[in-house]
Chains A and B, each alone.
Chain A
Amino acid sequence: MPVLETQNLTHIFPDGTAAIQDISLRINAGEFIVIAGANGSGKTVFIRHLNGLLVPTSGRVLIDGEPIGKNITAARQKIGLIFQDSDSQIVGQTVAEDVAFGPENLNLPREEVERIVPEALAAVGLSDLAAQSPHTLSGGQKRKLAVAGILAMRPEIIIFDEPFTGLDYPGVVQVLRQIVQLHQAGHTIVVITHELEKVLAHADRLAIFCRGRLAENGAPENIVIRAENYGIRLPLRHGGTVGELTWLR
């Protein structure tokens, strides 16, 4: 049984924009999925349905076979979302306080919060910066902080919305290494990006969105050759293989 499944998901905004239409996608436990698509193809809108931030116009989202509406807090705890813009995701005045935000929302005992926060910071390698203001962090560090804030809630599935935008080469490598580590630790990973050359080698599956619809969905090596039809740069040179598509070495 898939951990996460959408059935005929459609979202039409009040202004009439059909941001996503009829999307059915299954995500299995432990999988690493890359979702690609041109600007405005509906990727962000889609993943915001996966933890109930947006309510679909029609269709539904199932978590472990149960409709998401049954226990929305449990869903949000289980499915961690890393936003495209880390700056709006950071709500703490210090790095440690920001990580504590989620556990405090869950009303965990203070002792437990004080145990979880250093663990989450250590997991992303930000322990030394715990007392700093998030404002002073680099782009890569901010994204790691967002990951720590999600890890502190012990999610099973972690979704990254464009985790590489605005990062320099070391920043991309840092974040990518983090993602791969999380996958190896047993998390189910969904990465949204159109920069396939940075990450596709690690993926089990590639899905491509086009104008709000799920256009392709399957093994990366079968799909990637058609990427250019959907406004995504073809990352392979002639004769190259998907295994080369990573910025980790």
Chain B
Amino acid sequence: MAPVTFFHCIPRDTLLHRMDARLKLLCLVLLSVAVSFAVAPAHYLAALCAVMAALFTAELPLPALLKDMKIFGVIIAIVLVVDAFSIPGPPIPNFPVPGVSLPGVVTGLRFAGRLTIIIMACAVMTGTTSLLTFKNVVEWYLRPVPFIPEARVAMMINLTFVFIPLIFDQYVEMMSAQKARCADLRKNPIRRISFIVLPLLSRTLRRTDEIVYAMEARCYSETRTRPRFKTHPADWLILAAAAAALVFILYYPCA
């Protein structure tokens, strides 16, 4: 598989890596809410500063992240163009392309700004948090929610992360094995897919049986030792900064 830096934990020893992931997730939520209320350029600047500060604190490789963001760039460009043409309003004076409205461009730019900042914030979150910690945080937040067995949900998340690469590997192997037997000469695509999907499904189901046995053999139980979180004083300061960004955006007058 191609090495993906985006949405992948990059182990470092920084303030944000050590941060209590429960508070980190809360910061992400606060920042996302703040950005969704952003209207004036000053709002965007404030949010951008916050995210950039986080990005540099986390020592994440900026060039690699920007490269991986290309796919989002395409989405943003499409929305920008659609907004510019579809939202009615007075045209931009002296703009060479006809049919582009001023409110359309403004709306499109705002959307693009929001999305960029939120994606960058998510990249910081995932880049500094292992999947394991992430699972523990989800479990912690689900604890007070009634009727949701948080231990089971956490185990499901965990197993998904553990077994998707295995299933993917198996898929690749079966693809090559079938190519070796000239399966790509088959013209009917449905037949071709069924040759892959059905065996893959049956093998995955059989493997599931094995996993269930293996977990039972190790006394699987939902009353289990709970994960432990460590909160540092600095974590609260970071949370306060995120909250301050939200307050600023909510109360700073729109231009």
Contact surface of A with B, Cβ cutoff 8 Å: 48, 51, 53, 73, 76-77, 80-81, 83, 85, 87-94, 97, 100-110, 113, 131, 134-135, 149-150, 153
With a cutoff of 8 Å between Cβ atoms, the chain A residues found around residue B135 in the complex are 93
* Closest 4 pairs (CB-CB, A-B): A88-B210, A104-B225, A89-B214, A105-B219
Contact check, A90 vs B162: say whether CB atoms are below 8 A apart: yes
Judged by a CB distance under 8 angstroms, whether B187 is at the interface is: no
Contact check, B224 vs A104: say whether CB atoms are below 8 A apart: yes
State whether A91 and B215 are in contact (beta carbons under 8 Å apart), knowing that A85-B210, A105-B220, A135-B166 are contacts in the complex. Answer: yes
Contact check, B223 vs A107: say whether CB atoms are below 8 A apart: yes
With a cutoff of 8 Å between Cβ atoms, the chain A residues found around residue B166 in the complex are 87, 135
Judged by a CB distance under 8 angstroms, whether B130 is at the interface is: yes
With a cutoff of 8 Å between Cβ atoms, the chain A residues found around residue B165 in the complex are 135
> Can you list 10 A-B contacts (CB < 8 A)?
A53-B216, A73-B219, A91-B162, A91-B215, A93-B135, A101-B215, A102-B218, A105-B219, A105-B224, A107-B225
Q: What's the tally of chain B residues with a CB closer than 8 Å to chain A?
A: 28
Closest B residue to A86 by CB, please name it.
B214
With a cutoff of 8 Å between Cβ atoms, the chain A residues found around residue B162 in the complex are 90-93, 134
With a cutoff of 8 Å between Cβ atoms, the chain A residues found around residue B177 in the complex are none
Contact check, A83 vs B228: say whether CB atoms are below 8 A apart: no
With a cutoff of 8 Å between Cβ atoms, the chain B residues found around residue A131 in the complex are 11
Contact surface of B with A, Cβ cutoff 8 Å: 11, 130-132, 135, 158-159, 161-162, 165-166, 207, 210-211, 213-221, 223-226, 228
Contact check, A76 vs B132: say whether CB atoms are below 8 A apart: no
In the complex, A92→B165 CA distance in Å? 13
Contact check, A88 vs B221: say whether CB atoms are below 8 A apart: no
With a cutoff of 8 Å between Cβ atoms, the chain B residues found around residue A53 in the complex are 213, 216-217
Contact check, B158 vs A93: say whether CB atoms are below 8 A apart: yes
In the complex, A104→B155 CA distance in Å? 12
- Cβ distance A63 to chain B, nearest Cβ, rounded Å: 15
With a cutoff of 8 Å between Cβ atoms, the chain A residues found around residue B214 in the complex are 83, 88-89, 91
Among B161, B216, B219, B228, the residue within 8 A (CB) of A106 is B219
With a cutoff of 8 Å between Cβ atoms, the chain B residues found around residue A106 in the complex are 219, 221, 225
Closest A residue to B216 by CB, please name it.
A53
- Cβ distance B108 to chain A, nearest Cβ, rounded Å: 40
With a cutoff of 8 Å between Cβ atoms, the chain B residues found around residue A109 in the complex are 225
In the complex, A104→B214 CA distance in Å? 15
With a cutoff of 8 Å between Cβ atoms, the chain A residues found around residue B228 in the complex are 110
Contact check, B218 vs A153: say whether CB atoms are below 8 A apart: yes
In the complex, A238→B198 CA distance in Å? 49
With a cutoff of 8 Å between Cβ atoms, the chain A residues found around residue B131 in the complex are 93
